[in-house]
Every structure is written in C-alpha cells, then in structure tokens.
Chains A and B, each alone.
Chain A
C-alpha cells in the first residue's frame, strides 16, 4: 500500500505542500486553512502533519513525543482533528477534511511540490 513518508528533519517549513493541497482540492484557490496537510513549527523543528479521521472527543491519554533531547507535544504529529485541536476543519462549511492521496492511483500533490525531500511517496 502506498503511503506518504514524512522526514521532519528535512522539512524547511516553506508550507508549499499546504498550497499544493489547497489547489488540488479547490480549483484555483490557495488557502492553507483548506489544506489537508499542515506544517506545525515548534522551536527550530517543523512537523508536517497529514489530516486523518475526525474525532468528536479529545483523547484521554497522551504520550510525550521525545526527539533527541527535546520533548514535544504529541498533538503536533497527531493526524486527527478533535475539539482540542481544531485543525483540518473547513472554515466556511465546518466540514472535516481528510487526506485522500489525491485520488487513485495515489499521486499526492504535496509530495510533488515538496522540494526538501521531507515528503516522499513510498510503497510498503
């Protein structure tokens, strides 16, 4: 199965993937808030996060995300949109957004515009 592999070490935080996604799903419209991928910044690190399923309740147990000597909030890489993290909800319609790999066969537009190599389409 194809999936998008994310290497946060390579991400430069340019957010070109957000715009690519927005264009692919709403013709001619550039708006990061309508994208199904978002890049979150924490200090010097960027976390590209792809929209997963919508959940209507926040989770009860959360682990810490430890990379090197830094501890990050797990919500940063969580793909779900929940009341705690109101991302991936279309502002105008309140409709939850979810990554669809830009159709079948998968050819995600975010990967096409990602020049840093942070996003990669891989076959498992």
Chain B
C-alpha cells in the first residue's frame, strides 16, 4: 500500500473508548481518500436527518493519500460532518502541518463519535492514544490551547514536533458560525463544524508520530515533484502574485472587474481601492511567507510591522478576510480587518459566516429595521470598532450578541426581512458577486457545501484565464465548465492537495505525480469520474437531509437588482436559467435528484 497508511482510529467519546481499524482497499480505490472517503463513511454511518449537535452526528478527520508524501501542496486534511449552520454535509479543509503529522502518526483517518461527559483532548503521541480530560483548556483561545498543551509536555523537543487542531470559545458555546483552527490557520469552508466539535466536548486533537509514508516509485516521484516545483515557479500568478501577497492580491483585480462586494452586496465597486490594493498591501506589510506542509507557493503571510496602513502582528488578512470581514461590511481600514481576522482565528469563528452575519445586521440597521435597543450593539457600515466588538461578543455568546451568533439567515428572518440574507443554504456567500461571475453564481447555488468559492474556483478561468479564457458575463458553456471544475476540486481535495496549485498547474500535470505515488495507472477521465461519484454522493446526502431544488437559489437581490455602478454595471445573475442544463449534465432529474442508476453506482 503506497501513499496510504490504511489505518483508521475510531474514538467513541460516550464510552471513553477507541479502537484501530483497517480501511478496506476497495473504499480507497473507489473514493481516493480525504474528502471522498470521509463523505462515504458519513453517508453510510449516520442518518442525514440527525440533529448536527446531537451525539449521533459523527466528526471525521481524514488526510488524503498524497498528504505527507512531499507531493507539491499535499498538506490538506479534510473534516467531514453534518454542518450545524446549514444542515447540509460539511467538509472543511485544514491547512498547515496537521494533515501530514496525522499520516506520520500512523493514521489516515480519525472518526469521532458520541459525546464526552466533560471536555477532553484526544492525544496521539508516538502511537500512544489517550483521551485526556481538558477542563483547564475549556474557554481558552486557540493559540492559548496550543501553547498550554505544548508546555504540558515534559520533552520540549517532542513539543516542537506536535501539531494541534482545536476549537475556540465559539465552538465550545455551540455558536453555529464556529470553525476549527490548526497551527493558527483558519480552516477553509469550516462554518458549522466548530460547534459540532464543541457539542462532543472535544477541545482539541494533538498528533505526533514516527511512521513513514511510502511511495510506489520513489525515483520517478522525486523527478515529477521537481518538475512540478519548477512549473509552479514559471507561472507568474503563483511565483509573483501569490508568493508575494497571498490571495490578497485579488482585491484590486476583483475591484477592477466589479466582483468585489461592498456593503452586503449592495454595490460592487468602491473608490478607495488604493488603500487596499496590492500597492497598499506591499507598503503596509513587510511580508514574511509561511508555507503549509510541502508547499512551494507559501501564500500565507505574517506581518510584523507598524505603519500607517497596518498596526499589529499576526497573519496578514487574505482575500477572503478583506472581502468578507472588510469591504462587505463597508470597512476599508486594513488594521481593523487584520484585527477582526485575528479575533476569528483566536475565538474560532468562520470569517465568511461571521462577516456575512455582521453585514446583514449592518444593512438592517442602515434601513432602520434594527434599533440599538434590540441588539444593544451598534452596526454601522464602515465602522471597524462595531465589527470587532460584535465578533468578540458573538464568540463568547454574551448578552444580546447571542442572537446574532445564530447566523445571518436567522437574524434576517427574526427581523422579518429574509431577503436581506445574502447566502445559499443558510451560509453567507464568499466575497464574489455572482452577478458579474456567472459561473461562480451557478456554483454557489449548486454547491453541496454552501456558497464557498474554493469548492470550484471558477475565478481562475473566468477572470485570470489560467487554463482557458472565459467571459465572466456569459452563461454559454458555463454549466459544463462548473461541473468539470467541481469534479476536479473533489479529486484534488480527496487526494489532499491545495486548490491554489490549480492557478499554476493543469489537472493533467498532477496525473504522473498521483500515479507514481500510489502505484496506479489512473487517467484524467478515471479521476474525474471518481470526482463526479463523490459529488453525487454528497448531493444524495443533502437530498436525504431534506434539501431539494428549492434550496438551489440565490437571494432575490442577485436576480432582480442589476449592479448599480462600476465596471459590471447592469449585470444580473442568470444562475436560475443555467440550472436545468446543469442538472441534465449531472444526470439528475428536474428536481435535482440523482437518478436510480447513479445511486446504485455509488
């Protein structure tokens, strides 16, 4: 067995017990691993209608077969469960070094079941598996948890090789917007997962190990990886833009194209972009790059300067943070955005879900629908202090913030204006305006995980023209394109690679790396078929959980209100027109149900 370890740890927190299991070869061949395997296990083992916060829900941490082998960008560990925010299936992508260390500790997957009586930490150190009481960790922020755990180890050198994932106070208090944090990185698409972990009284998981991961053809694999590193280097988007500023370089570009949402998607361009584009970023941050495991791109930026744009230390905000916590709330001050992003990381909140909620509250207040008395907090567009205060209170569920902590949809409904919630399936939209990116719009409505851009990054072709040049405003050919990209992403996630690598590499470039690592002879079509199988299985789960065509819909604003100004003036979303074609391509019926044949082939 290559790439794979082939072992899984099943922890039952109710019984305070665990056992090691073999993973059947058949499952690995059929679902690749990572996201695919996690989805399959969840589909088989839980009832999709279960309450996400009940002990019957399961939490699956699973690393892909390429993670830890040194495959370029092979670092991602997926967390699969039923989301507490949306009720759909959820799959977060953990960055950093946790996924690789999980493999080195001799495991591909951890399945967490039940609910512990009191807070616990699962510690897997050099093959010694312990479920430790963690009362003293409860209430701590994520970085405190990490430091406390590491300093509790007697061997300080072993502590350097230990990697942790944890939830912050938000997850403990079962705030549905909570996320999981590892190595200081917010997980991608993790809204609703932190609360599930909190409901199990599981504070953290620590891993360290001495096991090896083997590859099938070592010499060939080393050659292929060397070629891919050079290829990534010759792609200007990767070697110049991503490596210099991280995804934040997209801010200026999106503003030029009219994609950048402003004030809860009320407009799509803003004039002060010079304060927030790449020029401002490079003068604001003396950027120090941080890479996830085996990543030649290193898009995560650390900041350690004080200047007129940015004060403080920590992670520089990414595009997602600047868009969701900043501009969509009308805030253009990088310092406030950076602090808000840091609070999200420490408290364990998802920036897209939390930012979207606050943006909704701000629009309610702007329209006079929310008075100060009702929430006891100020929500004014563009006021960074309001944002920071709201985030902290939201995470700790203190006072009136308890109500906004329930999420944007609940808030908009509570005040009688559900149309002001900008999201799909209860999850706020990632900061891309679907009116000026038709492909992204279609992906947002059809995504099994809610409207998150990193489950099909159509942006790379619709705007950056990396693989093919597509017009962002046309709907022609978009259903095929979106389907293909969704399937590719399912494969890339399942293998444990990072989506950003698609900015510099074509999907076909990965094939030799995959085959020399796993000892298989996959062709691109075989893998795309696997991707489709995973996507259909997720869809099937959601259908059984009660989702149908009526949930594949964008908020009315995107269909009825054309963009008012800027470069994409006059555009509306035509995602609804493309939906039938998309269903047909997927082989689903008009209600969006995968047919019987498809279900049987699963």
Interface residues of A (CB under 8 A from B): 9, 12-16, 19-20, 22-24, 26-34, 40-41, 44, 85-87, 91, 109, 112-113, 115-116
Contact = CB atoms under 8 A, between A and B. Distances in A.
B70 A20 contact: yes
Interface of B: 2, 68-70, 97, 100, 104, 157, 160, 210-219, 221-222, 225-226, 229, 232-233, 288-296, 298, 302, 304, 313
A86 B159 CA distance: 13
A63 B296 CA distance: 34
29 contacts: A12-B295, A13-B291, A14-B298, A15-B293, A16-B70, A16-B291, A16-B296, A19-B69, A20-B222, A23-B218, A23-B222, A27-B219, A28-B2, A29-B214, A29-B215, A30-B213, A31-B212, A33-B210, A40-B160, A44-B288, A44-B290, A85-B157, A87-B157, A91-B210, A109-B222, A113-B225, A113-B296, A115-B296, A116-B296
A13 B290 contact: yes
Contacts of A30: 68-70, 212-215
A44 B302 contact: yes
A120 B217 CA distance: 27
Contacts of B288: 9, 44
A31 B105 CA distance: 11
A112 B226 contact: yes
Top 3 A-B pairs, shortest CB-CB distance: A14-B291, A28-B218, A19-B70
Contacts of B225: 113
Nearest to B313: A44
Contact of A12 (B157, B160, B219, B289): B289
Nearest to A92: B210
Contacts of B226: 112-113
Nearest to B3: A30
Contacts of A112: 226
A18 to B, nearest CB: 9
Contact of B215 (A28, A34, A86): A28
Contacts of B211: 31
Given A20-B70, A40-B160, A87-B157, A14 B215 contact: no
B232 to A, nearest CB: 8
A26 to B, nearest CB: 8
B218 A27 contact: yes
Given A19-B70, A30-B68, A115-B229, A14 B293 contact: yes
A34 to B, nearest CB: 7
Contacts of B160: 40-41
A19 B33 CA distance: 21
Nearest to A26: B212
A33 B70 CA distance: 14
A27 B214 CA distance: 9
B217 A44 contact: no
Which of A24, A26, A34, A44 has the most B CB atoms < 10 Å from its CB?
Answer: A44
Contacts of A27: 218-219
B157 A28 contact: no
Contacts of A16: 70, 291, 294-296
Contacts of B289: 12, 116
A12 to B, nearest CB: 4
Given A13-B290, A113-B225, A115-B296, A23 B212 contact: no
A40 B161 CA distance: 9
B298 A28 contact: no
Nearest to A76: B160
Contacts of A32: 104
A23 B68 CA distance: 12
Contacts of B232: 115
B416 to A, nearest CB: 47
B76 to A, nearest CB: 13
A113 B293 contact: no
Contacts of A15: 97, 100, 293-294
Contacts of A116: 289, 291, 296, 298
A100 B212 CA distance: 21
Contacts of B219: 27
Contacts of B233: 115
Which of A12, A15, A40 has the most B CB atoms < 10 Å from its CB?
Answer: A12
A116 to B, nearest CB: 6
Contacts of A91: 210
B106 to A, nearest CB: 11
Contacts of A20: 70, 222
Given A30-B213, A31-B212, A116-B289, 9 more contacts: A19-B70, A22-B70, A23-B222, A27-B218, A28-B2, A28-B218, A28-B221, A30-B69, A113-B229
A91 B302 CA distance: 34
Contact of A14 (B69, B213, B216, B294): B294
Nearest to B212: A31
B294 A31 contact: no
A70 B406 CA distance: 43
Contacts of A14: 291-296, 298
A19 B198 CA distance: 35
Contacts of A22: 70, 212
Given A30-B69, A41-B160, A113-B229, A12 B290 contact: yes
A23 B221 CA distance: 9
A41 B211 CA distance: 21
A31 B210 CA distance: 7
Nearest to B220: A28
Contacts of B292: 14
A28 B214 contact: yes
A8 to B, nearest CB: 11
Nearest to A10: B289
A108 to B, nearest CB: 13
A96 to B, nearest CB: 16
